[in-house]
Chain A
Amino acid sequence: MPLTLTLTPNFSEPGKRYFRAFSPGDDFYEMLIEAHRDLSDEQSAMLNAKLILLLANHIGDLSVLREALGHARDGV
């Protein structure tokens, strides 16, 4: 796990070969939008909350999470 928040493109899937730089990011974005398909706004908000908790636990490092929270709060 890195000690600081990664802000450069970082998506990939082990064992998968990408011929185009935009593909892994687009793969992720499609998965994300697809996960919300047919949900109400309230259901989507719940999905997002659960997703953040799952990913936060996976990252674990509170200094990284603090940095991410700062960037997310910025300008909102």
Chain B
Amino acid sequence: MLKTYTYPKYEYQQPQEQKERSAARYPVVIVGAGPVGMAAAIDCRLQGIPVVLLDEDDTVSIGSRGVCYAKRALEILDRLGVGDRVVEKGVSWNVGRTFFREEEVFNFNLLPEPDHKRPGMINLQQYYLEQYLVERCVELGVDMRWKNRVVSVQRMSDGVRLTIETPDGTYGIEADWLIAADGARSPIRKQMNLEVDGKVFMDRFLIADVVMKADFPAERWFWFDPPFHPNQSVLLHRQADSVWRIDFQLGWDADPEEEKKPANVIPRIKAMLGDEREFELEWVSVYTFQCRRMQEFRHGRVLFVGDAAHQVSPFGARGANSGIQDTDNLVWKLKLVLDGKAPERLLDTYSTERVAAADENLMNSTRSTDFITPKSNTSRMFRNAVLTLAEHHSFARALVNSGRLSVPAFLADSTLNTADADEFSGAMVPGAPMDDAPVGVDGKKAWLLDQTGNRFQLLYFTDVAERLGGKLDELRGLSMDPVPVEPVIVSEKAGAAAGVRVLHDLQHLVARRYDAREGSVYLLRPDQHVVARWRKFDAHKIRAAVARATCN
């Protein structure tokens, strides 16, 4: 099996500390080189933090695993410098077809809103994403240690002490902060005797990666109760290299070992394709899932991210996507704390903000699961009634839930926000993940999101950039603060202002999407979320909002 991809093998090297039997302490150690741990490591390097990344294995994800990467994750990957590779290799799809028994009940076209850099979602095997992230980690000087397995974690008041096993025996290192990205079964979480609460769904699913030789449209097909697999659901999705993901619901009583055998898998796929189309199996797995999360994602000097902190059903692709968003939220805060520019309790807001996001993801993925796999006769009756009505009525189509596209949480209730005092309309409220829009930079077409991130910024909307006078000094003054704020002018006219970047709002879409007028200002967090906004520039209010956003 596995013919379209050759797994890289990353070289183990004996760690310096182990060779020399010396002690070492690092500001940040990350455990787990999956997509989430590597996103954290890259983000740390972009913030100038030295970082050690430990992984017990020496290659990438075996099998395609997480295949759907949603718009917000792609925007973060852009910030981390791997967005283009992921999107170029990935497959974009827009058409989804929903079948109920023999009939196609409806289809939808996800045609994304125009004038955003990234689409709603792309499909790509997890091993490609991991490979690109490894290469980016190496490029940025992450200290990557393969075949390094953490065997014990000792908590100290100002850090943690780790015992690590390698092919050469054990050694110890210390860290000021530990990021646990060690997956759903998180050995670190277990070591620390921490609970993770939720429920196991009593169902099993078979996933197969299939190389299809004949053409098949790049569409997402979802079957409820199809004749070739009665009473269960089936999903077909396209990935890169003509590899297709097929997902069969099996029910709780299925025997995972039996179901994985090609002799049992191949007839299922043949029945689904319904013809003599040629295909080859690349990878097969049977999975169950849980919907659960830890009470808190911060435990002293240990910060839990991704599946280690929260697990959702796969419907809606909220696993890797939300884990990458965890690191997006965490690393800028960690940098401010490490630099002594914010108190440690800023990291408690990593927990509160991402717990709220995890609850939203858990809610949406649980709802999808309940729709796809009804747990009672009544629930099944309602589900089938919705599907029957969906053929003719749009209200019912809106209720069909075969997985809601992963979208970022609005952190509208975060204590880091400064509440609106002025009137604004639209969705860009304090706590909103930023909307993208095209802009001109030095006469070239660019994207708003590519001009933001990694630091606090102030968008100042004005069409008289040349005549700002004393205000320009005030704007530039913000960038001299202990927590600097970079001023950025957004103008409907191409213009220039000494010492301040000017973005040309070519199609007036920035102003429209942010409901901005002459003089409006938006304060942005380093993770591209709105944190405050006003109709008039007031340096005093901006500084107060920055202090609030950093727990100062």
Contact = CB atoms under 8 A, between A and B. Distances in A.
Interface of A: 6-10, 19-22, 25-26, 28-30, 32-33, 36, 39, 41, 44, 48, 71, 75
B193 interface: no
B378 A26 contact: no
B389 A25 contact: no
Interface in B381-430: 382, 386, 388-389, 392-395, 398-399, 401, 404, 407, 410, 427
A26 B401 contact: yes
Interface-centre pick from B377, B399, B427 (highest chain A CB count, 10 A): B399
A41 B377 contact: yes
A19 B410 contact: yes
Contacts of B364: 26
B378 A41 contact: yes
Contacts of B388: 75
A22 B404 contact: yes
Count chain B CB atoms within 10 A of each CB in A10, A29, A41 and give the residue with the most: A29
Contact of A39 (B378, B382, B395, B401): B378
A9 B404 contact: no
A25 B379 contact: no
B382 A33 contact: yes
B377 A22 contact: no
30 contacts: A7-B393, A7-B395, A8-B394, A8-B395, A9-B394, A9-B395, A9-B398, A19-B410, A20-B404, A20-B407, A21-B398, A22-B398, A25-B395, A25-B399, A26-B364, A26-B367, A26-B401, A26-B404, A29-B367, A29-B371, A30-B370, A33-B382, A36-B376, A36-B378, A39-B378, A41-B378, A48-B378, A71-B389, A71-B392, A75-B388
Contact of B370 (A6, A9, A33): A33
B385 to A, nearest CB: 9
Nearest to B432: A19
Nearest to B409: A19
A9 B410 CA distance: 23
Nearest to B393: A7
Contacts of B393: 7, 71
A30 B235 CA distance: 23
Contacts of A19: 410, 427, 432
Given A9-B395, A19-B410, A29-B382, 15 more contacts: A7-B395, A8-B395, A20-B404, A22-B398, A25-B398, A25-B399, A26-B399, A26-B404, A30-B370, A33-B378, A36-B379, A39-B378, A44-B376, A44-B377, A71-B389
Interface in B426-446: 427, 432
Contacts of B378: 33, 36, 39, 41, 44, 48
Shortest 6 CB-CB contacts between residues of A and residues of B = A44-B378, A9-B398, A7-B393, A36-B378, A25-B398, A9-B395
A32 B382 contact: yes
B58 to A, nearest CB: 41
B199 to A, nearest CB: 14
A33 B379 contact: yes
A53 to B, nearest CB: 17
Contacts of A6: 395
Interface in B305-345: none
